[in-house]
Amino acid sequence: MIRLENVTKSYSAEVVALRDAGFDIAKGEFVFLVGPSGSGKSTLLRMLNRQDRPERGAVWVAGRNIVDMPPSRVPHLRRNIGNIFQDYKLLLEKTVFENVAFAQEVIGRPKHVIKQQVPAVLELVGLAGKEDRLPHQLSGGEQQRVSVARAFVNRPLILLADEPTGNLDPATGEGIMRLLDRINKTGTTVVMATHDQRIVNTMRKRVIQLDRGVIVRDQARGVYE
Amino acid sequence: MLSRIRYTFRETFDSFRRNATLTLAAIITAAISLLGVGLTLLSQKGFDNLLSKWEGGVEMIIFVNAGATGDQLGVIETALGNADQFVDTFGYCDSQCSLDEAEVVLAGEPGTLELLTADNIPTQFKVVPTEGTDVELLRQLEGAFSELPNVFNVQFAEDQISLIGQLQDFFGFRLLLLSVFLLLAAVLLIWNTIRTAIFARRREIEVMKLVGATDWFIRIPFMLEGLLHGIIGGVLASGGLWAWNSQWTSGVAEFPDGSGFAALVVTDGYEKQVMLIMLVIGAAAGAIGSGIAASRFLDV
């Protein structure tokens, strides 16, 4: 599903975000990207949805090298990738329903499909009955669930999560991880950047560790270390 | 498709609401600049009307009484033909041609216009002098022509006419220059309004891009917003122009007959053409301003 080949990305001569990074992620895998701040986790995630491009190397997503993908094709690539962020990136003046529906609306899904799919995904993330609330009326965990619902509503092949539990207390974070695990079990590939040791050690999924832009460990059923 | 159209209009009007002050400023600036363009075109038309009987280099007009016979007209033609040292070309404007001209020149004096018919309006010989012949030289011929049978009057392009021509050029150019500057200001203001709207919605745009919205899908509501700024500005300017023209027309009707202002009234539907031009220019200014902003600032 995802393949990186000798990917190098630097922001300046001194700041090298990724150096000759390479790995394969199979369809339906759950992978943790770990490492200290500035190790290149977020840069790597940005490469996978073409927010950023490497100077060298190839990034294959669903069988296509997306490095040289024409800009007009990028939106179609992104429709197959869900994104979850530490700060949720919810639209504050829109309700829970509207936030999730927005992801379908902007890619032209018809209204009757939106009306059918949004409540279903809100049910899945445990937010049924809170459709009309605004983000500020929700707890942090609930806001992150809205973010997960928005990322998953279009049934993407891949879900990219950048520190999704970073702003949450441990119990709430666990709830989000259970949710991501459930989504993973539907066949969606999940790549999650984190430095939450407890979660990584509990989940025992594949771990790719980065240090100053270099992959220093790639371990199946790994722990944080 | 329908949901996209609904989305586009909803986003456009939401943006109007959120950005009300800047939107209003952009629309007012567009309206004022377009009104400037409209008034320039209208005043030019007024001057053109005023000078219409002197079009084509005509420097002398011989007015002939209505009812002059063909022989009498022939005598005048012969006299003009014999003066080929001073007269380059001349043309005859019959009663219908004179009536058409009167409708333009006397547009602001409907009372006088009503009294004119094909049977009583003087016809005209319009004379273009040879190069090097000035009005003063032509004047020397006045006596010879005014004594011909049935000649009613001989008029020359007075210095006033040249003055009006100069005024037309002077005001036309400056008004147009001012309008162009104001139009540029309107484009920049629309550009800035759209840029601000994009900045205010950068979070939304980021999410849209991440979930796979195309650039055009994101751009179109902003471009439509700018287009509407221009069109609304054009509509307001058209209203302003209509009010101005109505006031001017009724004002000139109050002036004494023969004051010379009658020709400055535009009543032949030209003002509607100007309104259409203002709408088109407004739409273009809006589309250009918002198009540039939407293309330039979408990388938020």
Phi, psi of A63 (to 5 degrees): 85, 5
Q: How far is CA B15 from CA B212, B220, B249, in A?
A: 21, 12, 40
Asked if the Cβ–Cβ distance from A78 to B208 is below 8 Å, we say no
Q: What is the per-residue pLDDT for B300?
A: 47
Residue scoring higher pLDDT (A8 or B156): A8
Residue of A nearest to B299 (CA): A51
CATH number 1.10.3720.10 is the correct assignment for the domain at A1-80+156-225 = no
pLDDT band at A214 (very low <50, low <70, confident <90, very high): very high
Copy the structure tokens of residue B281: 């220019």
d(CA A140, CA A19): 35
CA distance B294 to chain A (A): 16
Domain edges within chain B: 2-52+162-296, 59-156
Asked if the Cβ–Cβ distance from B3 to A109 is below 8 Å, we say yes
Domain edges within chain A: 1-80+156-225, 90-155
Question: Which residue, among B141, B230, B238, B158, has the nearest Cα to B194 in the 3D structure?
Answer: B230
Give me the residue from B207, B214, B218 closest to A102, CB to CB.
B207
Within 200-219 of B, beta carbons closer than 8 Å to A belong to: 203-204, 206-215, 217-218
Give me the CATH code for the B59-156 domain, please: 3.30.70.3040
- Chain A residues with CB within 8 Å of chain B CB: 49, 51, 71-72, 75-79, 83, 89, 91, 102-103, 105-111, 150, 154
d(CA B244, CA A146): 57
Question: Which residue, among A52, A80, A73, has the nearest Cα to A160 in the 3D structure?
Answer: A80
CA distance A225 to chain B (A): 32
| Contact criterion met (CB below 8 Å) for B297 and B199 | yes
Plot region of B144 (φ>0 → left; ψ -120 to 50 → alpha; else → beta):
alpha
Asked if the Cβ–Cβ distance from B213 to A71 is below 8 Å, we say no
CA distance A197 to chain B (A): 28
Chain B contact set for A107 (CB, 8 A): 211-213
Q: Is B297 helix (H, G, I), strand (E, B) or coil?
A: coil
| Contact criterion met (CB below 8 Å) for A1 and A27 | yes
CA–CA–CA angle B232, B233, B237 (5° rounding): 115
| Chain B interface, best mutation among A53, A100, A105, by max B CB count within 10 A | A105
Compute, in degrees rounded to 10, the torsion defined by CA atoms B164, B168, B169, B172.
Answer: 170
ipTM, two decimals, is: 0.84
| Chain A interface, best mutation among B202, B208, B211, by max A CB count within 10 A | B211
d(CA B56, CA B128): 8
- For chain B, the first-to-last Cα distance in angstroms comes to 26
Q: What is the pLDDT of residues B246-285, one digit of tens each?
A: 888 888 777 776 666 776 777 778 889 999 999 999 999 8
Chain A contact set for B7 (CB, 8 A): 105-106
Residue A190: CA count within 13 A, CB half-sphere: 29
d(CA A203, CA A206): 9
Sheet order of strands, B87-93 included? B87-93, B123-129, B60-64, B151-156
Chain B contact set for A77 (CB, 8 A): 212
CA distance B3 to chain A (A): 6
CA distance A80 to chain B (A): 8
**pTM reported for the whole predicted model:** 0.69
Residue B190's Cβ-count burial label (10 Å; 0-12, 13-18, 19+) is: buried
Phi, psi of A16 (to 5 degrees): -105, 115
Could you tell me where the DSSP H helices lie in chain B? 2-18, 20-51, 70-82, 95-105, 110-115, 135-139, 142-146, 159-200, 202-210, 215-253, 270-296
Cβ–Cβ pairs < 8 A, chains A and B: 52
| Contact criterion met (CB below 8 Å) for B125 and B153 | no
| Contact criterion met (CB below 8 Å) for A13 and A173 | no
Per-residue pLDDT of chain B (300 residues; tens, 9 = 90+): 777 788 788 888 888 888 888 888 889 988 988 898 888 888 888 887 777 667 666 778 888 988 888 888 888 888 888 888 888 888 899 889 989 888 877 777 777 788 888 888 999 988 887 877 766 676 777 777 888 888 888 887 765 566 777 777 787 788 778 878 888 888 888 888 888 888 888 888 888 888 888 888 888 888 898 899 999 999 999 999 999 988 888 887 777 766 667 767 777 788 899 999 999 999 998 888 888 888 887 764
d(CA A91, CA A122): 16
Residues 6 or more apart in contact with residue B265 via CB below 8 angstroms: B46, B49, B107, B108, B248, B249, B252
